[in-house]
Structure 1
């Protein structure tokens, strides 16, 4: 790999410009595609009188469609190329946000959310992980942490900006203005900075292969038979299910205890700590065992939730949200590190796509499950206690390192 022959720590290394491009992609993709959905829910109900169930069902449809589409990321990269895939994702996301601003009928809502799913496929975590995997070897963890911080910044900056602009110039103008800003900022950076390392072409997994040789095929059934793959995917999916459940219900839980203003502050603190957590992990993760670090993050979230359920003190509750937030962002940083180390470069793209799909489908049910348990019991104690147990189970599973004998396990780099 080209990156092994130069100093990845140097600011002159082109890979850091790729990190900047990935940061901007994550900023707008998560800002519009995840954190902005709360804004759309409120504004579309207000503008058109549509029931909340219609808009929230469109959100669920989008997340599930995204989880299906990302499975095919490696094939799309081979067929249309890296830059073309990202540009397609950018155009689809832009079309989605413009349609959200201009729509008049419910079918347009579902079309907009379907286009958003295409945007996730071209600009989401799988493509970012594959791209940075090709540029970094020794500083891969730091590069991933910096790039994925764009996702959290999208929630801290873009979503509040949409709310502010909506109050001053209206929802339609706010969406069109921020979409234009995305195109102006992201399009030139993608065109000038995005690409594989010089003189290389795509091998499966986003790792470059000299001479432009064709990438081998990696059947997904081989990954599904790989124990190391499952002991990474399942715990991440379980932890994300618990995490999504807590995040969506956090304000509803905290508001009766500490008031609306303090509940909003808790969300801000949690998001800010997610940035701190990613940056802190990025500085050391390349020297850590990613499975141990992942288990520690899951355990810390379980501990934070457990203490949260025992207290009504505003200070303690805010501190628990801070501790919980410290590990939020890292749940999407660990999978590429574990895959690269244990499954290898050749199957990286296929494993990232399949793993992200499974995690996405499982975690999409987190808010619904927490809400259902809360409805059945009348409070959040049992629901969040369930999340504590899920985090501890996930931490135990991710520590399991299955032993594979060469004669019993298919070699993913040589399968036909």
Structure 2
């Protein structure tokens, strides 16, 4: 047996220096920061001077923000392009498309010109954001959740940084110049991302296994594919997906997306209904966004160490604590209840999103991740698109004490299916 092993495998390759995969994680953090920070949060700030100059209503500017989500179904068909051209090429192409669109925002003079730009910007957003987790899964397996959480929290950090930064830009330049500045900033960031990712396309290219572990190299040329062979997803593998399970998971994820955006969009009004000032309610909303980033990173670290079911229980407790505190706020009018509600709700929302990325990868496996993550992204985007209208409509019709119960009900299917689902699997 030992002789046969010597003939078929070389010695493990030692780990040397800083693992290149963490450079990829840093690049993906910067990518999500720019995607959400500039094209979502930064653009939201730009809508105020746009509305004043052109006389647009709040509904019109709101539709401009939402237009970027209309292209979400593209996520379902981007996987073949990723397998053909590579996730890195798709990522850079999507980022450059957003750079061009941001730069062109400053030249518009009608609503429909800007609406079309936002749709095209959405194409860039979808293709680049789908490429991010595929890049991460190329470099990580055992530590995927930690690495993915660090990359994904860039989106929340982008909102935290770019919203006030855009407001600052508008204090000494007009909105056209500010839009051009955001485009230039995203262009510089894209260059940095390109440079960070240069050097290798996979751990095998630098003589390592996933997660930077030592790699056993085959000595027999006929013993397996070459180092840099790109695994191709076969039609038979796609047909092996349990589409009943996939559909149930997609519906549950969409409902949680509705719950997340409904909660976030109505959180200031809900907190104000508990006797808190509008200014303080806005501050608590900012804390919710920051807590969401903390929840993403924390649950990512825990998912690599705890069982997924236990992490899901933690998410359920956080959401229940946050929503129960907001109900208590309606009776006690206490700042402490508002603070606990905003923080626990934010951590729970961020943690649930990260947990479901990991759940999707484990249920269907790494090889199909570009396809299944596309479904994940589309389902969540559909929930976000519906969450605003659903939240506003129900908040106007339900008492403040009942609205948090609706949010919990929307999350309940996802919390249940994370633990119980047909054909439950835990693949690498």
TM range (shorter): 0.7 to 0.9
Match of 1:392 in 2: 412
Q: 1:130-168 CA deviation, whole Å, 9 max, x = no partner?
A: 110110122111111111111111110011110121122
Report SS of the residue matched to 1:282: helix
Distance 1:394-1:185 versus aligned 2 partners, 3 A rule: closer
Residues 1:182 and 2:203 aligned together? no
The answer for the alignment partner of 1:31 in structure 2 is: 37
In structure 2, the partner of 1:204 is none
Aligned counterpart in structure 2 of residue 369 of structure 1, from 377, 383, 390: 390
Deviation at 1:111, TM superposition (A): 1.8
| Shift in alpha-carbon separation, 1:209–1:64, aligned structure 2, 3 A | farther
In the alignment, which residue of structure 2 is the partner of 1:241? 258
1:238 positional shift: 1.8
Q: Aligned partners of 1:361, 1:220: CA distance in 2, in Å?
A: 26
Count of residue correspondences? 392
Offset at residue 209 of structure 1 (A): 8.3
1:152-196 CA distances to partner (integer Å, 9 max, x unpaired)? 111100111101211222222222223212211332322441663
Q: Does 1:273 find its partner at 2:277?
A: no
Match of 2:95 in 1: 90
Report SS of the residue matched to 1:12: coil
Match of 2:201 in 1: 196
Matched, 1:52 2:58: yes
What residue ranges of structure 1 are gaps of 5+ in the alignment? Answer: 201-207, 406-411
Tell me if the contact between 1:228 and 1:343 (Cα under 8 Å) persists in the aligned partners: no
CA change 1:290–1:196 in 2 (3 A) is farther
1:7-37 CA distances to partner (integer Å, 9 max, x unpaired)? Answer: 6xx8700000000100000001011233234
2:265 touches 2:391 (CA, 8 Å); kept in 1? no
Q: Does 1:121 align with 2:121?
A: no
Shift of 1:388: 1.8
The residue that corresponds to 2:403 in the other structure is 383
1:283-302 alignment runs, 5 A limit: 283-302=301-320
Structure 2 distance, partners of 1:92, 1:251, is 34
**Preserved contact between residue 18 and residue 132 of structure 1 (Cα < 8 Å):** yes
Whether the 8 Å contact between 1:21 and 1:186 is mirrored in structure 2 is: no
What is the DSSP-based 3-state SS (H/G/I as helix, E as strand, rest coil) of the residue aligned with 1:78? helix
Q: 1:6 to 1:243 in 2, by over 3 A?
A: farther
What RMSD in Å do the two structures reach over aligned CA positions?
2.8
**Which residue matches 1:336?**
357
CA distance in 2 between counterparts of 1:50 and 1:40 reads: 13
Report the CA distance shift for 1:16/1:98 in structure 2 as closer, same or farther (over 3 A): same
The DSSP-based 3-state class of the residue aligned with 1:258 is coil
Moved more, 352-361 or 77-86: 77-86
**Cα gap change, 1:53/1:272 in structure 2, threshold over 3 Å: closer, same or farther?**
closer
Q: Which moved more, 1:234-243 or 1:127-136?
A: 234-243
Runs (4+) of structure 1 moved beyond 6 Å?
Answer: none
SS at match of 2:172: helix
Distance 1:172 1:247 in 2: 29
Q: Secondary structure at the match of 1:402?
A: coil
Unaligned runs of 5+ in 2: 1-11, 206-224
Which residue, out of 344, 350, 373, partners 1:352? 373
How far is 1:343 from its partner?
A: 1.2
Per-residue Cα deviation, 1:227-280 (whole angstroms, up to 9, x for no partner): 443454333322221111111122232235211221122022212222322232
Equivalent-residue separation in structure 1 for 2:387 and 2:23 (angstroms): 35
Q: How far, CA to CA, are the matches of 1:222 and 1:77 in structure 2?
A: 19
1:262 maps to which of 256, 263, 280: 280
Change (3 A) 1:287 1:230: farther
Partner of 1:166: 170
CA distance in 1, matches of 2:237, 2:408: 32
Equivalent residues of 1:39, 1:159 under 8 A apart: yes
Bigger drift between 226-235 and 301-310 goes to 226-235
Query: Do the aligned partners of residues 219 and 168 (structure 1) sit closer, same or farther apart at CA in structure 2, a change above 3 Å counting?
Result: farther
TM-score with structure 2 setting the length = 0.83
Per-residue deviation, 1:296: 2.9
